[in-house]
Amino acid sequence: MRIIPYPIMLSLTLVLAACASTQEQEFNRNVAEANFKLGVGYMQSGHFEVAAEKLLKALQYHDNYPEAHNAIAVLYEEIHEYGPANEHYRRAIDLKPDYTLARLNFARFLCLREPARTAEGESEFQKIIADRNNAGANTAEAYTGLAICARQRNDPVQAEAWLRQALDINPNNAGALLELARLSQTQNKTLQARAFLQRYHSQSRPTLQSLWLGITIESSQDGDPLLRRDYSALLVAQYPNSDEARRLKQPE
């Protein structure tokens, strides 16, 4: 029997260990990606509890997954868990500093959820706009974000100016259309608000926020009762466990 020299045996052991490690990493990444996609799908359909389970499982298998951190940050923000949202946004950006979507989401989060940090959010949006690598859609999103910050500062004139600039860059920017619908509604411009919301829904699937905005618009004195009924039915069907759905089910 031929005896394999010790150095060769050690080398073979290291190679086999490396192969096993690589296979395990690939398996973990595949499981993480599958759960990430499921989590995003559940989140988009309003099933937040299941979405959270899937996204947390994705991170359990692959913690250095910036897209999963960004997604679960959005989910935590949606359910008003702002501490974890902040942590996961930061983790996503730390892992991938050029991850523009996470930077946009985090800047918007600062303006909407952390009033004392509005200036920080605005600064981040300005940096994204100034970056030549972010021409086009990302720049339009950043202008929309600046408008949200201006609205939070109770400056509707500046907010509308930023939103118009976003639409100049991208006429189909869903976020800008939704914000203009919301801004118009607060100014009691029902027809204008309705038109912007309808344009939004032509570009993006209805969300809990957009449906509730539609109900609010059509609840005004010059609103359309039929449209209000349609928005209400869709909200209850798609988001039956939401606070908004429970409010609609209560007798008036």
Give the structural domain span for 231.
Answer: 174-240
Is the per-residue pLDDT at 185 higher than 90? yes
Dump pLDDT digits (tens) for 43-84.
Answer: 888 789 999 999 999 999 999 999 999 999 999 999 999 999
Q: What is the mean pLDDT of residues 179-204?
A: 96
- pLDDT of 174 > 80? The answer is yes
- Determine the pLDDT at residue 198: 97
- Half-sphere exposure in the Cβ direction for 203 (13 Å, CA): 16
Residue 2 lies in a domain: no
In a domain, 129, yes or no: no
Question: 16-22: long-range contacts at Cβ-Cβ below 8 A with a sequence spacing of 24 or more?
Answer: none
**pLDDT category of residue 5 using cuts at 50, 70 and 90:** low
Residue-level pLDDT at 160: 95
Q: Which residue has the higher pLDDT, 12 or 40?
A: 40
pLDDT score at 89: 97
> Could you give the percent of the chain with pLDDT greater than 90?
74
177 token code pair: 């259309």
Q: Does residue 92 lie within any of the structural domains?
A: no
pLDDT band at 1 (very low <50, low <70, confident <90, very high): very low
pLDDT for residue 121: 94
d(CA 197, CA 178): 6
- When divided into structural domains, the chain yields a total of 1
For the chain, counts of helices (H) and of strands (E):
13, 0
